[in-house]
Amino acid sequence: MSCAAPLAARLTAVSGPLFFPVTPYGPDGEVAVDVLRTHVAAGVEAGAAAVFVCCGTGEFHALAPEEFADCVRAAVEAAAGRVPVVAGTGYGTALAIRYARLAEEAGADGLLALPPYLVVAGQEGLLRHYTALAAATSLDVVVYQRDNAVFTPETVAALAATDGIVGLKDGYGDLELMQRTVSAVRTREGAGAGGDFLFFNGLPTAELTGPAYLGVGVGLYSSAVFCFAPEIAVAFHRALTDGDRATVDRLIDGFYRPLVELRSQGKGYAVSLVKAGVRMRGLDVGGVRPPLAEPAPEHVKLLAGLIERGRALLAG
């Protein structure tokens, strides 16, 4: 099902948000693969530019290897080559390589490499980890910067020079560091104008910081909102891409800022609140697995009101 074009080329100039689907569970708590196919297919049809399956929003941490492989395979089948499918991977180097190979066997087009489990490593150790992961399969790798995996600009330049590593997703949120990192990659020896190395805004509810990241040359971003309100996410992406600042500001002020404030009311809401939103849309994706917990009923009610407000802003 995978397209022969390199992942970086397919993501260089996208026409829609990047879709991070949730992982559905049935009443028995098992992964609901058929529901995932429906979820992914609906996202592609709604305008997703890529599918990032079994990542943070998809509860990568909660999936056994065989469940992970089934989910990646289902996403590849549902995308049917229309957009690239990128699978999460993580933990220590040995397990990250195992998940990467499972993703390759399942037909994924690339990998999103989450931070190593638990340890806080130095720059040399992080570089060794991601270099080994990139060498383990033929899949292109996007490295996720956040928590215990924060890089110096020099380390990112070294990652960018590594075969198989095609991008950096930033979930750390230091714009000065990002500007220095983009500059270091752009000016590294032999890179010309920076090559085709990709940068992503990976902060939760990335639309809120979209204009700021665009200012340092980072236009790609992950959209959790696309899971449960694709019409709002697509309209925002179009406005940001087209320079329609009035629409961008209207949606930030009336929808995205209140959503971020709601998301901050509970631990794990970056996943559980998103799943609640998907259920509101009529797709039964179940709840979240431990150690995450369901959002409070009053917060789910507030989310429903926010979604209605966002749709009204589009209509207005």
Amino acid at 203: L
Give, rounded to a whole angstrom, the gap between the first and last alpha carbons of the chain.
40
Catalytic residue among 99, 130, 144, 213: 144
Active site (annotated) includes residue 144: yes
Amino acid at 149: A
Taking alpha carbons only, the member of 84, 59, 119 closest to residue 7 is 84
Active site (annotated) includes residue 275: no
Mind spelling out the 3-state secondary structure of 91-142?
Answer: CCHHHHHHHHHHHHHCCCCEEEECCCCCCCCCHHHHHHHHHHHHHHCCCEEE
Taking alpha carbons only, the member of 71, 97, 96, 99 closest to residue 85 is 71
Q: Indicate if the alpha-carbon torsion angle 134, 136, 139, 142 is positive or negative.
A: negative
Catalytic residue among 25, 169, 256, 275: 169
Taking alpha carbons only, the member of 313, 188, 136 closest to residue 239 is 313
Per the CB < 8 A criterion, the answer to whether 49 and 83 are in contact is yes
* Tokens matching residue 6: 């390199």
Residue 68 Cα to chain centre, angstroms? 16
Distance between CA 5 and CA 118 in Å, rounded?
Answer: 35
Per the CB < 8 A criterion, the answer to whether 49 and 15 are in contact is yes
With a CB cutoff of 8 Å and minimum separation 6, the contacts of 301 are: none
Amino acid at 106: A
Residue 68: what are its φ and ψ, rounded to 5°? -55, -50
Per the CB < 8 A criterion, the answer to whether 21 and 46 are in contact is no
Positions marked active-site: 144, 169
